[in-house]
Amino acid sequence: NFGINMIVGKGLLICNKRNWYKIFTIIQLTLIAGLRAESVGLDTHTYIDYFNHLDGAINMAEAIRKLSWVEPGYVLLNYVVYRVSENAQILLFLCAAIINILSVDFIFENSQSPCWGIFFLFSFPFFYDSMCFIRTSLASAIFLFSLRYVKRKQFVRYVIAIFIGATFHIMSLLCLPLYFVNKIKWRRRRNIVIFVLFDIIVFRYILQLRDFIMWILGRGNSDVYSGINYWIGQNSGGWKTAIFFGLFFICAYYFYYSKRKNSADENLLAGYAFCLPLCAFLFPTAQIMIRFMILFMPIFGVFLSNEITSIKNYNNRLMMKGFYFSLGLAFQIYTISNNALGFVPYVPFWK
């Protein structure tokens, strides 16, 4: 599918049909995600069960009562679809359309090389996970849309967008402070010190931090999140996850300081890319951390695709493309062979 997208995209870009390429990509991704069967995607059946819980709901108040554990914005979306049709496939298609319209639009608005921006969207967790963590992905897509208000310095609109995103997943509220990322004067040595201090604080006070974050998110205390040995990512291997994000931080640190451009937009994206691992270390469980990583993947995609186009030397640019393509292919192979998210085999809903 990415091969088809790349070929069609290159042809349309050569013909100066950038908007047609964007429309083609949105349709392609939406069809793949929206026409999947219930068996495709780890949590797809869960969201279909949510939808089926609305059976007999005659108004929005009753719908909220039936899905009291789900954010109201997502309940409203379910209820509107339910009033039109009791077919849950329409809901999956609509969610896929919203996610892909907003995320692809973000890529095309910010990436100098949309083909590579879409490659990062395709080949790394965002697109795959959008078929599992639907509420998180809806909130993430709205967050990507809200970044235009950061560029325009429209704080009130940014806050409104974040709160709309929070009606789909409460995690969106954690993005409120990110409005001020571009105002921070990053200093190399100071940032390393801050990063290490955060690390130590999180390790020392993880249980208290866990309870505090769960309280903010309205989740209460849960034994699922206990265990000092799992201070990062209980559900993803604990220390292995910590090491992974440590390496991720080093990569983000390198890109931010050695590849940063002079334009405000580039600096903004660089700042967000740098914040990803820094923020990830603040969250005690893989469940929260993975969702935060999903939220940032399109930003990394734009940033890295712009880095590719900025390389003047042809051989170096070709080598960098080969490296990222190999990395994406390796991730695809791992995802398919591991099949932890349940995408193999891909089955359309009519079979």
Compute φ and ψ for 36, nearest 5 degrees.
Answer: -75, 155
Q: How far apart are CA 199 and CA 195, in angstroms?
A: 6
pLDDT (tens digit, 9 = 90+) per residue, 172-221? 887 887 787 766 665 666 666 766 666 566 555 555 555 666 565 555 54
Q: How far apart are CA 337 and CA 326, in angstroms?
A: 16
pLDDT (tens digit, 9 = 90+) per residue, 97-150? 999 999 999 999 988 888 888 988 888 778 888 888 899 899 999 999 998 898
Give Cα separations from 344 to 5, 39, 40, 103 (angstroms).
Answer: 21, 9, 7, 24
Q: How far apart are CA 31 and CA 291, in angstroms?
A: 23
- Contact (CB, 8 A) for 42 and 348: no
- DSSP structure string for 13-67: HHTT-HHHHHHHHHHHHHHHHHTB-TTSSTTHHHHHHHHHTTTT--SHHHHHHHT
pLDDT score for 91: 95
User: Mean pLDDT of residues grouped by 10 in the chain (351 residues)?
Assistant: 84 88 94 91 90 89 90 94 93 95 92 88 82 90 90 91 92 80 64 64 57 58 44 45 60 60 59 58 58 76 82 87 85 78 81 74
* Amino acid letter, residue 182: N
